[in-house]
Amino acid sequence: MADSVVRVAGALLLMALLLGSVHAHDLGVARLVLTPLSATSVLLEAKIPARMVPTAPIMAGGCAFSELGQRPSGQLVRLATWRIDCDSGWPGGDAVLLDWQREGAMVVVQRGTGDRSAGYVDADGGIIRLNLDELLGNGQAATDTATRYVGFGIKHILLGIDHLAFVLALCLLARGWTLVKLVTAFTVGHSVTLALAVLGWVDVPVPPVEASIALSIVFVARAAMQPGGGGWRHGFWLVVAFGMLHGLGFASVLAEIGLPRNDLVLGLLSFNLGVEIGQLLFVFAVLSVQTAISRMLRSQTDMGWVRTATSFGIGSTAVFWVFERVAAFAL
């Protein structure tokens, strides 16, 4: 029975992780800045993932656009700029449609007076609709920044398969209060570097960080396969260090969607809170599954085989990620 448990559990986990890695960090959110130039014209700046090539805006109503250019901004972001001119200001029918297959956009209105307002626009079928009269003429009520960024944080951690793989390895490595300490260490680590990176105090190239994150998973998965956890069960500060690597990965996501300048700290804290909520939900789910499997198996020996097989699957996948990510910037 042990051999079959190893084969099945290892194969299923390996398949799930490999398939899930493709969309690990894309929240599907664009960041747009609208800057009124006059009563009838506005500048539209879009911050989108570097791998994405945006299609031209579709104009509804009496407006026309002219593209002012596109350029990379850092390793992960592309900036695209258009000037939009409307015949008679912002009547109710004027809108800009962006068929970018995004889930939504953070929209910042930046006025010449220095005033800034931020809001979120949901997409419909992947199309973002910017109603210019609401955004520029009458003003848009500010979206609850805290709620929105908590949601971003939850979504990111639950889609970030490499981060989940690390937490899963911790759950296999330790139990009880020891697990609580290790998860807390991971939280402390990624919270510190997330804040430092967002505030601009730390700037590390993303590809080596992603490769290092994968390597951290290899180490923890290997420890989970060793008797007594290979001495790692009490490695609080080591997990803090690994958490700091993952925090840099979280920061790269925030670099894509941006933070409202007028609510920078609130947005940062809310995103981090969302990450913690998602992480706790995942830990609870893992522990529930472990408990259910333990009750189904005949002995603790069989449960040990399941842990070993799962750890092997995590570690093997992480090794693949290491080579894949190193090759992306070293070759």
Q: Where is the domain boundary, 96, 118, 143?
A: 143
Angle at alpha carbon of residue 229, lines to 227 and 234, rounded to 5°: 140
Per-residue pLDDT for 45 more than 60? yes
Question: Rounded to an integer, what distance in angstroms lies between the CA atom of residue 236 and that of residue 166?
Answer: 14
Q: Are residues 322 and 175 in the same domain?
A: yes
> Which residues lie closer than 8 Å to 306 by C-beta, 6 or more apart?
5, 9, 293, 297
Is 153 inside a domain boundary?
no
Q: Where is the domain boundary, 96, 112, 143?
A: 143
Is 282 inside a domain boundary?
yes
Which residue type occupies 18?
Answer: L
Q: Where is the domain boundary, 143, 174, 194?
A: 143
Q: Are residues 261 and 295 in the same domain?
A: yes
Q: Are residues 110 and 88 in the same domain?
A: yes
Q: Convert the pLDDT of each residue in 69-128 to its tens digit.
A: 888 776 667 888 888 887 766 555 567 888 888 887 878 787 765 556 667 777 888 888
Give per-residue burial for 246-263: e unless 16+ CB within 10 Å, then b: bbbbbbbbbbbbbbbeeb
Residue 67 φ then ψ, to 5°: -80, 135
For range 208-218, the mean pLDDT: 90
Question: Rounded to an integer, what distance in angstroms lies between the CA atom of residue 37 and that of residue 289?
Answer: 57
Per-residue pLDDT for 305 more than 70? yes
Q: Are residues 71 and 54 in the same domain?
A: yes
Is 174 inside a domain boundary?
yes
Q: Are residues 267 and 190 in the same domain?
A: yes
Q: Are residues 86 and 223 in the same domain?
A: no
64 torsion bin: left (phi>0), alpha (psi -120 to 50), beta (else): beta
| Bridge partners, residue 48, by sequence | 78
Write down the pLDDT at residue 17: 40
Per-residue pLDDT for 33 more than 70? yes
Q: Domains in the chain: how many in total?
A: 2
Q: Are residues 20 and 88 in the same domain?
A: no
User: Which pair of structure tokens corresponds to residue 10?
Assistant: 């290892």
Q: Are residues 133 and 197 in the same domain?
A: no
Q: Assign 87 to helix, strand or coil.
A: coil
Is 155 inside a domain boundary?
no
Of these ranges, 116-120, 231-235, 318-322, the one predicted with the greatest mean pLDDT is 318-322
Is 169 inside a domain boundary?
yes
Which residue type occupies 215?
Answer: L
Per-residue pLDDT for 19 more than 50? no
Strand 104-110, strand 29-36: pairing = parallel
* Residue located via tokens 């609130």: 266
Asked whether 216 and 222 are in contact (CB, 8 A), the reply is no
Q: Convert the pLDDT of each residue in 150-172 to its tens digit.
A: 888 898 888 889 999 999 999 99
* Residue located via tokens 């690390």: 166
Is 247 inside a domain boundary?
yes
* Helices 300-330 & 161-173 angle (0-180, nearest 10): 150
Question: Rounded to an integer, what distance in angstroms lies between the CA atom of residue 328 and that of residue 322?
Answer: 10
Within 10 A of 165 (CB to CB), how many other CB atoms are there?
28
Percent of the chain clearing pLDDT 90 (strictly above):
20
Q: Are residues 197 and 303 in the same domain?
A: yes
DSSP assignment of 119-138 equals EEEE-BTTEEEEEHIIIIIS
Q: Are residues 45 and 119 in the same domain?
A: yes
pLDDT-derived band at 316, boundaries 50, 70, 90: very high
Q: Are residues 93 and 214 in the same domain?
A: no
Alpha helices by DSSP H, the chain: 2-20, 132, 145-159, 161-173, 176-198, 206-225, 236-257, 264-296, 300-330
Is 148 inside a domain boundary?
no
Q: Are residues 108 and 169 in the same domain?
A: no
Q: Convert the pLDDT of each residue in 252-278 to its tens digit.
A: 777 777 776 667 788 888 899 999 999
Range of 66's domain? 29-143
- Using alpha carbons, select from 18, 16, 25, 22 the residue that is nearest to residue 156: 25
Question: Rounded to an integer, what distance in angstroms lies between the CA atom of residue 43 and that of residue 66?
Answer: 10
